A and B are shown apart, each in its own frame.
Chain A
Amino acid sequence: MSSVDAGLACKPADYKSDIKPIWCPGCGDYHVLMSFTRAFAELGLPPEEIVVVSGIGCSSRIPAYTNCYGFHGVHGRSLALAAGLKVTRPELTVVVASGDGDGYSIGGNHFLHACRRNIDMTYVVMDNRVYGMTKGQPSPTTEPDFDTALSPGGTGLRPFHPLVIALASGANFIARCFSGEPNETASILVEAIQHPGFSFVEILSPCVTFRPDEKEWKNLVHPAPVAATSDPGKAARRIMTDDGFNIGVLYRGDRKPYAPAIGSASVELTELEKDFEL
């Protein structure tokens, strides 16, 4: 019997399914899953009232590893699916899981408008700076000098800066975490879920197979040198100068979340006819 059923304080194990992840041993996403379950336990939400929506990629396998409702949708479209769900079922807690490929490449357009719409949900992107599931192609956040047989000499392209895009597009809460610190990541996820509006949390999550150099991230991440701000101008200056390894909450906004009034739709033609009466 789970803790929830027994009326006890929730444990992370209550939010974990019995399905064994297929991630490579050493993958940062194991810690991200831990952060998810610890955050849900901290919030004390019944598992059946949480929905984890994802797209395609290694990170997007996460819904099935939780004991919540999940939707493993099509590539890059998790935000569209989640928006539809949240708008029609506002009482549910909707967490969207994605990766740098799914979220910033094919899903990049949805990202902009999800930030702009500011629907109350939490978007978690596990960024490993590579297309992992398809075996190692550069992603939008890959460094320009990442030199492999798939990108000889590196792409030479400036990487996408998701925190800047999120801020410019209107996200109401922006943070960066590191998967290797699951307790702190869990704390930030709790805050992100509780913060009204669209919360964006980027989690640096190393890919042990196609980016073994990312093992070094544990030595590069550091707490952000300045405190979080609610001033978009300050946040913009700060984010533009960060080194990509600042950890913590960067911005907390106060925009009102988008929540359209969903009443019972009229299905009677006589009602519609009134709009067309001469």
Chain B
Amino acid sequence: MVLAPQSISDCLFTTQWATYLAETLQSPAIVLSDQFIGQARAAIERPADIAFIGQRLKATEISSTYRRYARAANGISAMAIPGTRGGQYTADGLTHTERGTPTSGEADHGAQLDKRREKLEQFNFGDHWAVCEGAGDLAVLTWGSLTGTVREAIGEAAQDGLEASLLAPRLLSPVQPQQFAAALNGKKRVLIVEQSHGSQFYRYLRAYYDLPGEVHILNRPGPLPIRVSEVHRAMTQWS
């Protein structure tokens, strides 16, 4: 899983959420902050108390048929903790069976790959997957620390009579195609804003999502952050 915080205070929330997801889904999570957030300092509102308590599914009642990587309906297998009698297994980086025994068999490999995919596809990530705000037929997509910049630009454009919505995914992987489609439903124009020389975010969106209507990209590399005025200009001088 890859999660991207959108501000300094969002780092706390996103990391808490990532920890919860990693424990619950027994999958690794990368928190993709960026240099702008990492080297900034700000006075922020006191964050909310922890909203998530991640609990790994543990195997406490061990039967003789216990298999560490057994296929479950939701893809999550109970984990025996060292010290639990009868639950011994070797956590292996090699392709393995449901028991954990290394194998080069096609069926085992396929089954475990399916299990890992099922875990992530079946999980309901809820509303935290992205920030979706505003209305209008123009959607502005961004991620990470540019979320605040884009939000401010949308506010300024609104004062000029141009309505636009903001869509900033916090969960970059796994992708959420249904939620994404719902968020962009009815949009006729999409502006993608990213601090990137090779427009990586745009290419990522193209790889996994359908982008409706006319698509413009505002991208340039650092070190100077993209300014509110640049986004505002791109929105209002659409041609």
Which A residues contact B (CB, under 8 angstroms)? 19, 46-49, 51-52, 56, 61, 63-64, 66-74, 85, 89, 91-92, 267-269
Contact = CB atoms under 8 A, between A and B. Distances in A.
Nearest to B91: A71
B82 A72 contact: no
A129 B102 CA distance: 26
Contact of B83 (A48, A52, A268): A48
Interface stretch (B44-52, B130-138, B187-195): B44-52
A72 B46 contact: no
A51 B101 contact: no
A69 B100 CA distance: 11
Contacts of A51: 82
Query: Which of B46, B90, B92 has the most CB atoms of chain A within a 10 A radius of its CB?
Result: B90
A49 B91 contact: no
A269 B46 contact: yes
Contacts of B83: 48-49, 89, 91-92
B196 interface: no
B93 interface: yes
Contacts of B181: none
The dominant DSSP class at the B interface is loop
Nearest to B90: A70
A52 B47 CA distance: 41
Contacts of A49: 82-83
B82 A269 contact: no
B197 interface: no
B24 interface: no
Given A69-B82, A89-B82, A269 B88 contact: no
Interface in B33-69: 46-47, 49-50
B94 interface: yes
B85 interface: yes
15 contacts: A47-B88, A48-B84, A48-B88, A64-B90, A67-B88, A70-B88, A70-B91, A71-B91, A72-B90, A72-B93, A72-B94, A268-B49, A269-B46, A269-B47, A269-B49
A218 to B, nearest CB: 30
A48 B83 CA distance: 5
A72 B88 contact: no
Contacts of B102: 19, 61, 64
B20 interface: no
Nearest to B102: A64
A48 B46 contact: no
Interface residues of B, number: 21
B87 interface: yes
Nearest to A51: B82
A69 B47 contact: no
Nearest to A49: B83
Given A267-B50, A269-B47, A48 B93 contact: no
A6 B89 CA distance: 21
Nearest to B49: A269
A74 B101 contact: no
Could you say which of A19, A52, A56, A72 has the most chain B C-beta atoms within 10 Å of its C-beta?
Answer: A72
A8 B83 CA distance: 19
B160 to A, nearest CB: 40
A74 B93 contact: yes
B84 to A, nearest CB: 6
Contacts of A89: 82-83
Contacts of B93: 56, 72-74
B61 to A, nearest CB: 14
A48 B84 CA distance: 6
B112 to A, nearest CB: 15
Contacts of A47: 88
A89 B94 CA distance: 25
Contacts of B47: 269
A48 B86 contact: yes
Interface string B76-113: 00001011111111111110000011100000000000
Contacts of A68: 88
The 6 A-B residue pairs whose C-beta atoms are closest, nearest first, are: A70-B90, A64-B90, A69-B82, A72-B92, A63-B90, A48-B85
Contacts of A46: 85
